């Protein structure tokens, strides 16, 4: 079975995104940038991207 590089990329982005989004949820005003909770928004985006990569890898396998 060949190694699918989407697996580690998906897993890394999922875990990293959740970590960053978690910091956004608990960070309070310190993570606010111009009215945006950048940690929460970008962290969630990274986690969704990671989940999509994982799903793609599993489906194509």
Residues 6 or more apart whose Cβ sits within 8 Å of residue 7: 53, 54, 57
What residues does 4 pair with on adjacent strands? none
Interface pick for another protein out of 5, 55, 58, 61 (rule CB under 8 A): 5
CB of 41 to another protein, least distance (A): 8
Q: Residue 59 interacts with another protein (CB under 8 A)?
A: no
Q: At what angle do helices 38-60 and 6-26 cross, to 10 degrees?
A: 160
Residues binding another protein (CB under 8 A): 2-3, 5, 8-9, 11-13, 15-16, 19-20, 22-24, 27, 30-34, 36, 38-39, 42-43, 46, 49
């Amino acid at each position: 079975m060949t190694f699918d590089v989407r697996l580690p990329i998906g897993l890394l982005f999922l875990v990293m995104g959740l970590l960053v989004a978690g910091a956004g949820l608990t960070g309070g005003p310190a993570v606010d940038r111009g009215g945006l909770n950048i940690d929460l928004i970008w962290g969630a985006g990274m986690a969704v991207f990671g989940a999509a990569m994982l799903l793609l890898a599993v489906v194509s396998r």
